[in-house]
Amino acid sequence: MKKILWLSCLLLLAPLAQAQTKVEDVKTLTLNNGMKVIVLEDHSIPNANMYLFWKVGSRNERPGITGLSHFFEHMMFNGAKKYGPKMFDRVMEANGGSNNAYTTEDVTVYTDWFPSSSIEVMFDLEADRIGALNISSKMLESERGVVLSERSTGLENSNFQSLQAQLKSTAFFAHAYRWPVIGYESDIKQWAKKDLEDYFKTYYAPNNCVVVIVGDVTLAQVKKLSAKYFEPIPGNTPPAKVRTVEPPQNGEKRVVVHKKISSPNVALAYHVPSTSSQDYYALDMLSSILSSGNSSRLRKSLIFDQQVASAIFTYMPQSFDPNLFYLYGVAARNITPEKLEAAMLAEIEKIKEKGVTDFELQKTKNQKLMRFYQQMETINGKANSIGTYELFFGSYTKLFNAPKLYENVTKEDIQRVAKKYFIKTNRTVGYLLSPEKKGKSK
Show the 3-state SS of 17-38: HHHHCCHHHEEEEECCCCCEEE
Rounded distance between C-alpha atoms, residue 309 and residue 299, angstroms = 8
pLDDT tens digits, 309-335: 999 999 999 999 999 999 999 999 999
| Contact indicator for 367, 407 with CB cutoff of 8 Å | no
Q: How many domains does the chain have?
A: 2
Q: Is the dihedral of CA 279, 107, 379, 325 positive or negative?
A: positive
pLDDT at 154: 84
In this structure, is residue 439 part of a structural domain?
Answer: no
Q: Are residues 223 and 265 in the same domain?
A: no
Q: Are residues 66 and 209 in the same domain?
A: yes
Rounded mean pLDDT of 374-394? Answer: 96
- Strands 108-115 and 98-103 turn out to be antiparallel
In this structure, is residue 151 part of a structural domain?
Answer: yes
Q: Are residues 186 and 333 in the same domain?
A: no
Among residues 289, 278, 275, the alpha carbon closest in space to that of 368 is found at 289
Confidence of residue 4 (pLDDT cuts 50, 70, 90): very low
312, β-bridge pairs: 329
pLDDT at 226: 98
In this structure, is residue 272 part of a structural domain?
Answer: yes
Q: Are residues 221 and 266 in the same domain?
A: no
Rounded mean pLDDT of 331-355? Answer: 98
Rounded distance between C-alpha atoms, residue 70 and residue 203, angstroms = 13
pLDDT tens digits, 126-173: 999 999 999 999 989 999 999 999 999 987 789 999 999 999 999 999
Amino acid at site 419: K
Q: Are residues 290 and 352 in the same domain?
A: yes
Is pTM, for the whole model, over 0.85?
yes
Rounded distance between C-alpha atoms, residue 174 and residue 77, angstroms = 33
pLDDT at 442: 43
Rounded distance between C-alpha atoms, residue 4 and residue 362, angstroms = 12
Residue that terminates a domain, selected from 196, 230, 264? 230
Rounded mean pLDDT of 95-112? Answer: 97
pLDDT at 372: 93
Q: Are residues 181 and 278 in the same domain?
A: no
pLDDT at 156: 79
Can you state the angle between helices 68-75 and 193-203, rounded to 10 degrees? Answer: 90
Least confident of 250-259, 343-352, 361-370, 429-438: 429-438
Q: Are residues 187 and 89 in the same domain?
A: yes
In this structure, is residue 4 part of a structural domain?
Answer: no
Amino acid at site 195: D
Q: Are residues 214 and 275 in the same domain?
A: no
In this structure, is residue 236 part of a structural domain?
Answer: no
pLDDT at 157: 87
Q: Are residues 222 and 259 in the same domain?
A: no
Q: Are residues 219 and 263 in the same domain?
A: no
**Edge-to-edge strand ranges of the sheet holding 253-258:** 253-258, 427-433, 265-272, 323-331, 309-315
In this structure, is residue 56 part of a structural domain?
Answer: yes
pLDDT at 398: 96
In this structure, is residue 86 part of a structural domain?
Answer: yes
pLDDT at 155: 78
User: Domain limits at 380?
Assistant: 253-433
What number of CA atoms fall less than 13 Å from residue 73's CA on the CB side? 26
Confidence of residue 358 (pLDDT cuts 50, 70, 90): very high
Q: Are residues 142 and 286 in the same domain?
A: no
Residue that terminates a domain, selected from 230, 262, 284? 230
Nearby residues of 297 by Cβ (< 8 Å), 6 or more positions away? 289, 290, 291, 347, 350, 351, 360
Q: Is the model's pLDDT at 11 over the cut of 50? A: no
Among residues 433, 119, 112, the alpha carbon closest in space to that of 257 is found at 433
Residue that terminates a domain, selected from 195, 230, 265? 230
Q: Is the model's pLDDT at 115 over the cut of 90? A: yes
Rounded mean pLDDT of 344-365? Answer: 97
Q: Is the dihedral of CA 219, 228, 396, 369 positive or negative?
A: negative
In this structure, is residue 237 part of a structural domain?
Answer: no
- Say which CATH number the domain at 47 has: 3.30.830.10
Assign 3-class secondary structure to the chain.
CHHHHHHHHHHHHHHHHHHHCCHHHEEEEECCCCCEEEEEECCCCCEEEEEEEECCCHHHCCCCCCCHHHHHHHHCCCCECCCCCCHHHHHHHHCCCEEEEEECCCCEEEEEEEEHHHHHHHHHHHHHHHHCECCCHHHHHHHHHHHHHHHHHHHHHCHHHHHHHHHHHHHCCCCHHHCCCCCCHHHHHHCCHHHHHHHHHHHCCHHHEEEEEEECCCHHHHHHHHHHHHCCCCCCCCCCCCCCCCCCCCCCEEEEEECCCCCCEEEEEEEECCCCCCCHHHHHHHHHHHHCCCCCHHHHHHHHHCCCEEEEEEECCCCCCCEEEEEEEEECCCCCHHHHHHHHHHHHHHHHHHCCCHHHHHHHHHHHHHHHHHHCCCHHHHHHHHHHHHHHCCCHHHHHHHHHHHHHCCHHHHHHHHHHHCCHHHEEEEEEECCCCCCCCC
- For the chain, the C-alpha Rg in angstroms (whole number) is 23
Q: Are residues 218 and 329 in the same domain?
A: no
Rounded mean pLDDT of 97-117? Answer: 97
pLDDT tens digits, 227-256: 999 999 999 999 999 999 999 999 999 999
Rounded distance between C-alpha atoms, residue 341 and residue 428, angstroms = 12
Percentage above 70 pLDDT, the chain: 94
Q: Is the model's pLDDT at 125 over the cut of 90? A: yes
Q: How many CB atoms lie within 10 A of CB 46?
A: 10
